[in-house]
Structure 1
Amino acid sequence: MIHLVTGLISFAAIFAGALIGLFARRRLPGHHLSSETQSAITVSVAVLGTLSALVLGLMITAANSSFSARSDEVRELSLQAIRMDRNLRRYGPDAAEARASLRIWAVAKLQQLFPDKGKPPVPPETTIIMLENVQDAVVALTPQNEKQRYLRTLCLTLSSTMIQARWGLEQRMGHSIPVPFLVLLIFWLTIVFASFGLFAPVNPTVIVALFLCSVAVSGGIYLIEELDNPLSGFIQVPSDSMRKALVEISQ
């Protein structure tokens, strides 16, 4: 919801700038709209346009990196869970409790990252406790032969890797795009669109064109914000890997 609000604020500010420019055109004396004035403003706005493009590029890069990193971490967490379950199966019946704990964690983690509609997400504190319970169950195993000792050591390593991946995923829950960047970008775009309105004739075609351009730009900002937080909202990290892991663990 916060991303939609950001997009709406962006649209309101940018389109308001265009309307202010159109209004100012009708109020300013003629010599303020001379060709020399237009040339000076055009050059100045070109600088702002270039800066806006650079900031947009940085925002897209940051959001895409955040999306890719979170996608990789979800896949890695799913892969490690499958590997641990397979090794616990190989360990034997004594690992049944650890497998059950792992299955409970997988269900809760899926609900935390990709909650079903109408159901509240599982708190992060709950899933980390469940994952630590899995590790405790592995620690409690008493190997009877070399194979079981190897599998127990391997499962402990995997559980530590999963805990590390979990904390890495939690640390990326925030926004990677600084708020001042976003505010400054909207301010620059507002000035740019105000200059468009200042030298454009006042007619329905111009107003509609400025409206559509404002929607397009603010829509881009909204999508960048969505991409930066891909565990909720319109653009989400694929849940296929986690769901497949749960199916594999539940067998």
Structure 2
Amino acid sequence: MLTIITIVAISAAITVGLAANRRRHRRTPAGGEEASVTDLISPLQTLSVLLVAFVIVVAAESYGTASQAAWDEAHRVDQLYEEADYSPEPQREGLQAAAVCYTRAILAYEWPDMEHSRRMAPEASVWSSDFRRHFKELAHKDADTFQLLVEADDERSAARQTRLSQASPAIPAVIYWFMVVALVATIGAFAFGLPRASTASHIVLLCTLAALFTGSLILIEDIDQPYSGFIRVTSKAMQDTADDIGEDFAKDHPGRSLPCDARGNRTRA
């Protein structure tokens, strides 16, 4: 919806600006002074360019943080699985099974719903609770892996929270719309300031500038929603981890079934 409104607004700016330009030239005698129009457009152009640059940087930083958080979470789950390999039984199998089920639940429930609810899916949280239950049992056994596992889980939890928080747009709506207004005014001013003897090349350059500004706005809107849109952070890192540790569990515990189904729903205690 924002994309459509943006395109319509820029197109309207060109139309209104050109219409005002024709009206101005009809009222201005040939050879009249036009430099003042350019002088007025220059600061508006500077403001628009600086505003676009600032917003792109903010959106790109948010996108980068979201991408890093998604990778960090997947990596920490994989790390937790590997470190659990040095724990005594039955905690070893319990932790590794919970890690596999956690990734499945994240992929099946939390990731698809993240753009709308931005909440922790209980289907996945039940497995992170299992982690802590096994940690308590390891603490009573004074296991050497206890501290390493707790640290890995803390980092996983922090990455998960960051991933969810980055699902919200980093750019407030008021800033985005202020930028749209500034760019619309800039395009309209350029159209209004075209010389009396404007040629097709002037119109082409104006349309090119409008297209670049429109593309910038569409790009900003897209990357400011890091988990949806054309340029988005995918669940590939978590999917790779799920596949990897799922295969490892089958090798490490032959004949043992996971306590969850393919979507991470608990099937047994």
Give TM-score scaled by structure 2 length.
Answer: 0.77
State the superposition RMSD in angstroms.
3.0
1:150 matched to which residue of 2?
A: 144
2:261 matched to which residue of 1?
A: none
Q: Per-residue deviation at 1:186?
A: 1.5
Is the contact between residue 48 and residue 183 of structure 2 (CA under 8 Å) also seen in structure 1? yes
Cα deviations across residues 107-155 of structure 1 (Å, max 9, x unaligned)? 1223456549xxx999633255234323233235346865xx1212321
Q: Does 1:31 align with 2:28?
A: yes
Distance 1:183 1:34, change over 3 A: farther
Distance 1:223 1:44, change over 3 A: same
Choose from 181, 195, 214 the match for 2:189.
195
Q: Does 1:163 align with 2:157?
A: yes
Q: Per-residue deviation at 1:181?
A: 2.1
Is the contact between residue 63 and residue 177 of structure 1 (CA under 8 Å) also seen in structure 2? yes
Give TM-score scaled by structure 1 length.
Answer: 0.82
Distance 1:249 1:210, change over 3 A: same
Counterpart CA distance in 1 for 2:156 and 2:75 is 9
Matched residue count:
241
Choose from 173, 178, 182 the match for 1:184.
178
Q: Does 1:130 align with 2:109?
A: no
Structure 1 window deviating more from structure 2 (91-100 vs 201-210): it is: 201-210
1:214 matched to which residue of 2?
A: 210
Counterpart CA distance in 1 for 2:13 and 2:52 is 19
Report which structure shows greater RCO (CA 8 Å, sep ≥6). Answer: 1
2:64 matched to which residue of 1?
A: 68
Is the contact between residue 21 and residue 197 of structure 1 (CA under 8 Å) also seen in structure 2? yes
1:90 matched to which residue of 2?
A: 86
Give the unaligned 5+ runs of structure 2.
249-269
Counterpart CA distance in 2 for 1:229 and 1:132 is 27
Q: Per-residue deviation at 1:206?
A: 5.5
Partner SS for 1:235: coil
1:42 matched to which residue of 2?
A: 38
